Amino acid sequence: MSDPVVIVGAGLAAYNCAREFRKLDSSTPLTIVTRDGGGFYSKPMLSNALAGNKTPQSLVMKPVEKMAEELNATILVRREVVSVDAAARSLQLDDGTTLAWRDLVLALGADPIRLSLAGSAAGDVLSVNDLDDYARFAERLDGVRRVVILGAGLIGCEFANDLLARGIEPVVIDPAGWPLSRLVPQQAGQWLQERLAAAGVAFRLGRSAMAVLAGDDGYTVELDDGEVLQAGLVLSAVGLCPRVALAEAAGLAVAHGIVVDRGLQASAPHVYALGDCAEVAGLSLPFVMPIMQQARTLAAGLAGNATTLGYPAMPVVVKTPACPTVVSPALGVAEAIWQVEADEAALLARHVDAEGRLVGLVLMGEATKQRQQYAPQLVPWLA
């Protein structure tokens, strides 16, 4: 029997790559190594699970045993890869086991960025980046009346909206002047802010958290302007950093993510990467639809039918029911202007380049119904 295809990770990228591979190759041995429990769940569901009264257990769509059966795979759970030898085509696990591989797929994901905060309770700040994190967060919400959220980006806004369903006041802090500042123009950000605020979300924008201290009833968060906020919990949602340490130690090319070509191959033969840890043509895209494109492309290559990855523009639905929002960021476009139309019910923002092409899009409120009209007009992210 030949050495297996080994996939490191068991998130959306890993499992979807495995599924696509099995559609094309049912017999090559397949081994999946994961540091979590290996159950299949959708990570994007973590930021709106509270409104649906989802427990960590109910978020698991299929247990690891079922995944192993469906994929005809060996799945090693709660195991860590400590080193990769690309030349020898082997890796070592934390229990000393050595695995040989025909092809290695790194689907390592990303780690939450940690702010440098002062204070006795800075280490108590939570992040929700996987199912285990969500379990820790959810079990600590009982009796909490206010949660301070660090970051008014996509995940911060989604968690803020979700906490409202539990009757918890979210206070969102961000040094930027408006929510989703990296994705939308100021007018759109303020339109979103007004509607989230009307639903019960408090904002401290243009401000930064400096310290988190333990208090009598939770935590005290000190801001850079001297304001002090009381909170039952503090949640950080300031972004993700691709996990590249394992690849870097193995001598693979690393930039922001693990550098791969448009077949998802890293800088060593028979080594690939996809998902949040991968960087393709300078792009690291932590969204579901690009990951699905990667999974299909890589699976074809692993099955002997090499293809080239491309990205159409793939608008992202922001899970903020208080203000329905769809965004499609302009990627790699130097010169473009925003054209914004808004009233009380809807906002449409078109990002247009010097040639008149639609390179970015924001739809809010009633305008989200125009998604199908505008999406085909968007310039591809990677042609």
Using DSSP, state whether 64 is helix, strand or coil: helix
Select from 76, 21, 365, 17 the least CA-distant residue to 196: 365
CATH class belonging to 5-110+240-302 = alpha beta
Say how far residue 368 (Cα) sits from the centre of its chain.
22
- The 8-class DSSP code of residue 237 comes to -
pLDDT reported for residue 4: 97
Packing angle of the helix pair 186-199, 154-164 (nearest 10 deg): 20
Break the chain into its structural domains and give their ranges.
5-110+240-302, 114-236, 324-377
Options 3.30.390.120, 3.40.640.10, 3.30.1240.10, 3.40.50.620; CATH for 324-377 is 3.30.390.120
Q: Per CATH, which fold does 114-236 belong to? A: FAD/NAD(P)-binding domain (3.50.50)
Written as one letter, the residue type at 30 is L
Fold match between 5-110+240-302 and 114-236?
yes
Which residue(s) pair with 205 in the sheet?
A: 174
Q: Kind and range of the H or E element at 186?
A: helix 186-199
Q: Is 349 helix (H, G, I), strand (E, B) or coil?
A: strand
Distances in whole angstroms, Cα of residue 322 to Cα of each of 25, 146, 187: 45, 18, 17
Beta strand 325-328 pairing with 358-365: antiparallel
pLDDT at 331: 87
Q: Which two tokens stand for residue 87?
A: 């030349």
218-247 pLDDT, tens digit per residue, is 999 999 999 999 999 999 999 999 999 999
Angle at the Cα of 228 from the Cα atoms of 222 and 229, rounded to 5 degrees: 100
Residue 1: the pLDDT is 64
- How many angstroms separate the CA atoms of 108 and 122, rounded? 26
Pick out the chain residues at pLDDT < 70. Answer: 1
- Give me the residue label for tokens 């429990």: 37
C-alpha 316/C-alpha 375 separation (Å) is 11
pLDDT in tens, 101-149: 999 999 999 999 999 999 999 999 999 999 999 999 999 999 999 999 9
